[in-house]
Amino acid sequence: MKITSAKVIVCSPGRNFVTLKILTDEGVYGLGDATLNGMEKAVASYLENYCIPSLIGRDPRNTEDIWHYFYRGVYWRRGAVSMTAVSAIDMALWDIKGKILGTPLYNLIGGKSREKVLVYCHVNGKETGEVTENAAKAIENGFRAVRVQCGVPGVGHAYGVQKGSRAYEPAHRGIPREEYFDTSKYLNFIPSVFEKARQVLGSDVHLLHDVHHRCTPVEAARLAQELEPFHLFWLEDPVAGELQEGLRMIRKISTTPIAIGEVFNTIYDYTTLFSEQLIDYVRMPICHGGGITHLLKVFAMASVYHINSGFHGATDLSPVNLAASIHFNMAINNFGIQEYMPHQEEVNEVFTINYVFKDGFLNIDDTPGTGVDIDEKAAAKYPYEMARLPVNRKMDGTMFNW
């Protein structure tokens, strides 16, 4: 069996997506998600100009060798752009493997450890009352876990909080916007939101919060400690992760569980975090973290240290990635939770999906491979348009040093 060609499909049904399609001499093809929010064309170019030419003629069943070819075989290892490309190639090859063997992806990586996957949704609002109302609605709609973000008094635009009634989307068309943030106002305010949320929502629902790396270690430790009485499921990205040792201070001071890694891309970002048990959940998604092949290794190592999955699943990751995440979560023992934000309607014109949300869980069917398909004609109706994530400054204009 041989790879005969591959193409990169860039489209923008409401937001930009990059999809890799690998075709074979047996007529079977596989799909991988290569979307990197705000850097789509960089990944597309790396795939088209450098990766695809050396994929042609290889046997697509050799997922392990091909992974090492594109990771260790390349002099300039790691980095978000190249790892997104490696991930997309790997996902597409596992999709092909499932299709030729006639079985869903989860069967290739351990079978079912559970029947369905617990998810959390996003809830936010401009002020505490709106947030708790929206959370109550989410719980009524079946969610058992909600991520709570709230506007901060005195801060014009808090990242992670949607504007008006539009679907939440942190990237904006054109060059990056510059936004302003005040960590001290944020730290003073956020514990009161969770106090109110627990009063209104009770203790059963899982509450999560995303700091989006906006604290120093000592600030994050204070926040984790002050949130302790409200028993969060997790506190996400409390600090930027480049300095793994920075997590030590948070751990020493608080029992609030920690999730990190949506911007990480290899196991080497986690070695200290795992071996010193500084975190509880791994956020690194299939489409940025080296695909199925690499994440199987990451989660084998994580399981030794009682660390579970908590994959990134915002709407800037395509349905191909979400389906792969569900398969992965179905199969591994150390599953934690999956982030789930439903995609906009237009996205479903382009991608056919094989998963469904019910009563707080995502369920996936037994279509062979990953089970998601792309309609290239529909994709062509939505051409790419540049959109970037914001740049952040302190209130006095200083670039943040998180």
159 is annotated as an active-site residue: yes
Q: Which of residues 254-273 bind Co ion (CB under 5 A)?
A: 262
Contact flag: residue 226 with Co ion (CB under 5 A): no
Among the listed ranges 64-72, 104-112, 208-216, 330-338, the one in contact with Co ion (CB under 5 A) is: 208-216
Q: Which of 40, 182, 210, 280 binds Co ion (CB under 5 A)?
A: 210
Q: Residue 23 or 158: which CB sits closer to Co ion? A: 158
Q: Residue 85 or 93: which CB sits closer to ligand EZ4? A: 85
Contacts of 31 (CB under 8 A, 6+ apart): 19, 20, 21, 22, 91, 92, 95, 320, 370, 372, 373, 374
Contacts with ligand EZ4, 230-269, as mask; x by CB under 6 A: --------------------------------x-------
Q: Residue 262 or 316: which CB sits closer to Co ion? A: 262
40-44 long-range contacts, CB within 8 A, separation 24+: 40/10, 40/16, 40/384, 41/10, 41/384, 42/81, 43/18, 43/81, 43/84, 43/85, 43/88, 44/8, 44/10, 44/18
Contact flag: residue 90 with ligand EZ4 (CB under 6 A): no
The interface partner of residue 170, options being Co ion, ligand EZ4, none and the CB cut-off 5 to 8 Å by kind, is ligand EZ4
* 10 contacts 18 by C-beta, under 8 angstroms: yes
Contact flag: residue 39 with ligand EZ4 (CB under 6 A): no
Give dist(CA 219, CA 225) in Å, integer.
10
Diameter over CA atoms, the chain: 61
Contacts of 245 (CB under 8 A, 6+ apart): 272
What is the three-class DSSP state of 67?
A: helix
Contact flag: residue 80 with ligand EZ4 (CB under 6 A): no
- Active-site residue (options: 122, 209, 212, 343): 212
Residue closest to 308 by CA, chosen among 275, 274, 341: 274
Strands lying side by side in the sheet with 3-11: 3-11, 17-24, 29-33
Contact flag: residue 226 with ligand EZ4 (CB under 6 A): no
Q: Which of 15, 116, 209, 212 binds ligand EZ4 (CB under 6 A)?
A: 212
What is the three-class DSSP state of 359?
A: coil
212 is annotated as an active-site residue: yes
- Active-site residue (options: 69, 157, 159, 384): 159
Q: Which of residues 316-345 bind ligand EZ4 (CB under 6 A)?
A: 316, 339
Give dist(CA 368, CA 212) in Å, integer.
36
Q: How far is the CB of 39 from ligand EZ4 (least distance, A)?
A: 10
Contact flag: residue 301 with ligand EZ4 (CB under 6 A): no
Contact flag: residue 214 with ligand EZ4 (CB under 6 A): no
Give dist(CA 18, CA 374) in Å, integer.
11
Q: Residue 40 or 373: which CB sits closer to ligand EZ4? A: 40
Cα separations (Å) of 76 from 47, 56, 73, 99, 253? 15, 21, 9, 32, 38
Q: Which of 19, 37, 183, 256 binds ligand EZ4 (CB under 6 A)?
A: 37
* Residues found near ligand EZ4 in the complex (CB under 6 A): 37, 170, 210, 212, 262, 312, 314, 316, 339, 389
* Residues found near Co ion in the complex (CB under 5 A): 210, 262
